[in-house]
């Protein structure tokens, strides 16, 4: 039961005619999106026909209360669900999008998407006393986040003609990329919502289709960077993760506030990328401190559940100092498979929680005999990423894929054990990020339980 319906089942109706992105007076979301499968049109007759189940009206403040206080959700989670259920275009819109995607498919890879915003967003920054994301911030953030990526094609989308031209020149110079640009925005100074609202329905309709085309182009690039001061790039990241299975590490927020989903999985143990393979990277982690517990179980899911409880109690104050600690990411589980073909996870597991800013000497002693404080030395790992909710089967499959990729590249690694990294809470339904770790044989040290 969802509290927004006052502990009863129900249907949530959205008045999609109240916005200006439409093709006629009676238009709205349904002009561009195929609603028949998932969306239910409201009529007064339908509401009147159910006197025992009247509609409950919520304004934005009461919806916020339900979402944040009652459901304990973020808007990310609800947007993920909405995109998954309702983001399906009308055929004529999909046809227009596909024509541009065909053009994108012909450019030199990798493709690097940039969203360059001007217009009323600059005035909004001043009004909110918010730091404006400049063109230089976009290029610099990309270069810092993916220093190994050079060349390819920079896909430039946005509204402000001057800022897009500046971004294109700077990207070509610093990243060595060719430039692929979207159709110019109708107002060269950038988007002003009040100005857009005064356009004819024909211009609103074509402008909305162009907006959707630009979104889809950026959702299909190999990398994406924008300023999340704007709502627009957030929608792009939802499309990337929910519909197109892009890993969250391929998209970042260039604003000063780090609002992208990848930033949300920090703090994490610091590391340096030494090299990259086709589907994996070699990382070198610094010395870190963890709490650990050993589990014996013939079932992966049971082992994860059994290991979590004593470690979480430690964070909640079950330690010699009675100190409560924030939970960091990832949760690591060391797995010893029954054979090198990874047909079973075996029965011996070690689960570890990361303790940032603490050492073995400063971490409070556990009160549980099943929990120990351990040190992981400076160490290298081969690491790959997989999505979804991890099960014993999906974790083994991910480990096997990484093992085969390493063998193909002639890399030697310890196949008697591997590590599974969990980054998400169970409430995150989409865009989940998991990792598999193998230790190179040239660096076969492991976590020291000292």
pLDDT tens digit sequence for 135-184: 999 999 899 888 889 999 999 999 999 999 999 999 999 999 999 998 99
Q: Is the pLDDT of residue 222 over 50?
A: yes
Determine the Cα angle at 349 with ends 345 and 355, to 5°. 130
Overall domain count for the chain: 3
Residue (of 348, 350, 306, 351) closest to 327 by Cα position? 351
In terms of domains, do 378 and 435 share one?
yes
Is residue 219 in some structural domain?
yes
Residue with tokens 């026909």: 49
pLDDT at site 57: 66
Q: How many Å apart are CA 354 and CA 330, to the nearest integer? A: 7
The domain in which residue 236 lies consists of 102-264
Q: How many Å apart are CA 68 and CA 60, to the nearest integer? A: 12
Domain CATH number, residue 288:
3.20.80.10
In terms of domains, do 344 and 197 share one?
no
Is residue 80 in some structural domain?
no
**pTM, to two decimals:** 0.63
Q: What is the DSSP code (8-state) at residue 48?
A: H
Q: What is the DSSP code (8-state) at residue 399?
A: H
In terms of domains, do 69 and 214 share one?
no
Q: How many Å apart are CA 234 and CA 253, to the nearest integer? A: 9
User: Among 73, 93, 118, which residue terminates a domain?
Assistant: 73
Domain CATH number, residue 177:
3.40.50
pLDDT in tens, 73-87: 556 666 777 788 789
Is residue 97 in some structural domain?
no
Residue (of 225, 245, 288, 246) closest to 446 by Cα position? 288
Q: Is the pLDDT of residue 266 over 60?
A: no
In terms of domains, do 209 and 250 share one?
yes
Q: What is the dihedral of CA 219, 224, 225, 227, to 10 degrees?
A: 20
pLDDT in tens, 296-331: 998 999 999 999 999 999 999 999 999 988 888 899
Q: Strand pairing partners for 374?
A: 290
Is residue 255 in some structural domain?
yes
Token pair of 25 as six digits: 């007076």
In terms of domains, do 30 and 127 share one?
no
In terms of domains, do 247 and 305 share one?
no
In terms of domains, do 217 and 141 share one?
yes
- For the four alpha carbons of 100, 104, 105 and 107, in that order, the dihedral sign comes to positive
Q: Strand pairing partners for 158?
A: 116
In terms of domains, do 291 and 370 share one?
yes
In terms of domains, do 249 and 345 share one?
no
Is residue 94 in some structural domain?
no
In terms of domains, do 243 and 377 share one?
no
In terms of domains, do 301 and 395 share one?
yes
In sequence order, the 6+-apart residues with CB closer than 8 A to the CB of 248 are: 237, 241, 260, 261, 262, 265, 431, 433
- What is the number of other CB atoms lying within 10 angstroms of the CB of residue 48? 9
In terms of domains, do 294 and 410 share one?
yes
């Amino acid at each position: 039961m969802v509290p927004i319906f006052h502990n009863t089942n129900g249907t949530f109706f959205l008045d999609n005619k109240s916005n200006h992105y439409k093709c006629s007076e009676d238009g709205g979301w349904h002009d561009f999106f195929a609603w028949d499968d998932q969306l239910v049109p409201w009529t007064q007759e339908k509401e009147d026909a159910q006197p025992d189940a009247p509609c409950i009206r919520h304004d934005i403040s009461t919806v916020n209360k339900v979402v944040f206080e009652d459901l304990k959700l973020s808007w990310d989670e609800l947007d993920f669900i909405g995109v998954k259920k309702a983001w399906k275009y009308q055929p004529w819109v999909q046809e227009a999008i596909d024509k541009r995607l065909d053009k994108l498919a012909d450019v030199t890879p990798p493709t690097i998407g940039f969203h360059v915003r001007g217009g009323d967003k600059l005035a909004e920054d001043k009004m909110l006393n918010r730091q404006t994301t400049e063109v230089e911030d976009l290029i610099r953030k990309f270069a810092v986040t993916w220093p190994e990526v050079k060349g390819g094609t920079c896909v430039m989308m946005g509204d402000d003609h001057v800022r897009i031209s500046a971004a294109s020149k700077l990207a070509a110079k610093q990243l060595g990329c060719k430039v692929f640009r979207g159709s110019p925005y109708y107002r060269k100074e950038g988007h002003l919502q009040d100005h857009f609202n005064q356009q004819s329905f024909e211009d609103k309709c074509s402008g909305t289709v162009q907006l959707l085309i630009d979104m889809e182009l950026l959702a299909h690039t190999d990398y994406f960077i924008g300023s999340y001061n704007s709502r627009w790039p957030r929608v792009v990241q939802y499309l990337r993760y929910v519909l197109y299975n892009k890993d969250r590490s391929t998209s970042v927020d260039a604003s000063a506030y780090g609002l992208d989903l990848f930033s949300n999985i920090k703090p994490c143990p610091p590391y340096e990328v030494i090299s990259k393979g086709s589907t994996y990277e070699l990382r070198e982690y610094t010395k870190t401190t963890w709490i650990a517990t050993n589990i014996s179980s013939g079932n992966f899911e049971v082992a994860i559940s059994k290991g979590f409880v004593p470690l979480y109690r430690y964070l909640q104050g079950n330690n010699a100092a009675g100190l409560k600690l924030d939970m960091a990411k990832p949760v690591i589980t060391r797995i010893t498979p029954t054979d090198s073909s990874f047909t079973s996870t075996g029965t011996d597991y070690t689960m570890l929680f990361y303790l940032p800013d603490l050492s073995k000497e400063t971490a409070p002693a556990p009160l549980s005999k099943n929990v120990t404080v351990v040190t992981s030395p400076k160490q290298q790992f081969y690491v790959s990423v997989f999505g979804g909710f991890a099960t014993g089967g999906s974790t083994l499959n991910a480990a096997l894929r990484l093992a085969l990729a390493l063998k193909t590249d002639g890399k030697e690694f310890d196949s008697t054990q591997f590590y599974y990294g969990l980054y998400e809470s169970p409430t995150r339904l989409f865009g989940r990020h998991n990792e598999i770790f193998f230790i190179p044989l040239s660096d076969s040290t492991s976590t020291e339980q000292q």
